[in-house]
Structure 1
Amino acid sequence: MGDTLELLRDRATALATAISGDSQPYDELPTTFRDADFVPGAALNLELFFRYLIEGIEPSVADTQPLIDRALTLVHDGMSLDEVLANYRIGAAFYWAQLMPLLDAQEYGIVPKVGLRLTEYLGLIMSRIAGALVEDARQPRWDLLERQREIADALLTGREPAGWAVDPESPPAPAFLVAVIRLGEPAPGTLTRLRSRLALVPGTLLHRDSGGWTALVPMREGDKDPARGLTHTLALRDSDPHPQFWIGVAPAASHAAIPAAYAEATAVAEVAGSLQLPEVVCRREHMMFEYAIATTGSTRHALAALLDPLDDQPMLGQTLDAFIDNQFNHNAVARALFIHRNTVTYRLSRIADLTGYDPLHPTGISTLMAARTARRLESKSFRL
């Protein structure tokens, strides 16, 4: 039995460290796992659970304190208690589904023990999280967090905050930079650090939404480039590897302008993440071409379909990509693909024949570039 349990622990640990939101079997997990910086918490949960399962050592309060602290932080940042606890339920179901098929028929006898220990472990962790949150809610700062959430929700939906939520000594800023955060595959702990840095900016309001997080960052009067200021605040440097999150930003000069800025920043963040743009803090002004395609739903679908005739000949699609990426330079494409320049010319003519749009003509290449962007968005199930 011991060897089997060790096998399950090794497999579970490998699953946790290799988690990726876009590949199987991880695509079954909700995006809230990435929002919660799932990997560090999963690793500790697995360590404590399997020690409890194999050695019979129940996790102490000190053992589980990092998990409690993480849950408190998520709730403070706007994630609901229901979501925090649901992560445990969904995570347990995920690991059960991945691990149980590894057992041979003669090993099924350990299933009741694993199931009982899992039930006991989940009950222990959830009760400690709930208890800590109840105690935290009794602290004076809880009212402040509730007020901040109420203000953020109201401003983003075009309402004035309720009177109880506004502190007359510290009212909401008159103007905000709306910053919408969307995740790729960031390193463990990245999102927690990002939220912590945003929260340190005086007057910043954090809001949890279905796709990620939004921050309302106060703008100073006369601030000509608040996006650059945000980049500095978050210590984002061009020389660093891409952190695998994207922040769409849009300024709102008044409270009434916030909903429109929120919609714009959301679209920018979604487009930047879908297209894996090199910038981290992204503005509509720097991606007008992509933004225009992304925000016209029916046209986007039609554009994406223009490249369907190339699906059966992937070399043509590869050549089109190289032609665009190399600024329409035939020689550069030939070098990039290790083919003769005449082959490039032939393939471009075949693209024209199959799609009806000539890559060597301004109108044709413009349409094909738009089609390529639309198809990349569609492949990411892009929706607005």
Structure 2
Amino acid sequence: MPLSEAARRLALRCETRVNALAREMTGDVFGGIPGYAELPDDMKDVEIAATARHGLRLFMRRARGQDGRRGDHALFRERAAQRAEEGLPLHLLLRTHALGTYALWQTLREEAAPGEEAALVELADFLLRGQGGVIGAVAETYLDERAALDAERHEERRTLARALIDGTPPADRTTLEELGLDGPVTVLALRLPPADGPAATAPVAVRRRLRRLQTALERAFGTDVLAGLDATGGHALVPGAPEPADGLARRLARACDGPVRCAAARAESPAGIPHAARTASEVIRIAHASGRPPDLHRLADVLLEYHLSRHDESSPMIAALLDPLDGRPELIDTLRTHLETRQDRRATAQALGLHPNTVDNRLTRIAELTSGIDLASPRGTTLALCALLLRDSAPVPPSGTAHADPPPSERSQPMSRP
């Protein structure tokens, strides 16, 4: 809606004061904003002053009745993107625009003569209506830029985490020092619950889930955590090698809306991170193969199983003992659960939702098919457990590959219980 002639004349009488008003804004008007005084002088005297002049001249041009142009908000958007990149808080940026609007209103009020009250009210309405578009453009651009910067930073950190886990740390240790990863590190392996349905596997849903998981990790450890995670899990690096609390898996499960397996190993230096990552991943695999429910698993919890699952020339023969059970997943599940429940048939039946007699029948069938695994004897139980673990694992890479174990001084250490 165009201004009346009286309102237009009042506005344009202030046009000669644009430069002085812009200087006043960047000085006394904005000077009371917390943190403004600490900004660099060239930012205040050049960039912010130029933005203020642009805003004032834009108001004058609109007051003349000239239609808005496509690039009217371009400078506001450009400055908002710069401020976001420089880390200037959004509230400070928006306060400058709000106070600038108020300073212009004060100037209009000072310029108004008796009898121009109606024109002044009209200009107040005109000024506030125009300010909405400016604030919207500034906030939108700032938040878009921050989101892009955060995504870039997140990707850089994830790339760094994967590089450290793969054994290719950056040549410049400055980055590691800034992140606190130049010394001891707790390396976490995580296995996440499968997403439920197509909606949960959509990229947006996966990113939301991983953000919640990242937040839960950082709250649990009270520090920044460098994570290389995807929809199924991955690894996370915690500077300072803190001991994970027993409730960690429950906190992560709440963030992921499902049970989470996690394990931790300590690396004394960046060179030990790959071995620590493999150790933690192996502990999770063994805990799963042994039928343990999702939780925070430690090497001490699966010490025997870990030892039994190491590969040597006898490993293929032991793993092959369970080959007759191929295609019978119910028998494998029964065997796994029976071992986990310490061979308590009633506990096994309850865990699987079966009648105890059904469990007995399945165990009998396992003994018949395998022709050698007698679960009634310590030797047979040990063979069954070892065969399960070896079937669920892959051979350890030979020495000299990218995954060869580091020297003893750089090997991961098991995380002790508190």
**TM-score tier (shorter):** 0.3 to 0.5
Which TM-score applies when normalising by structure 2?
0.43
Larger radius of gyration: 2
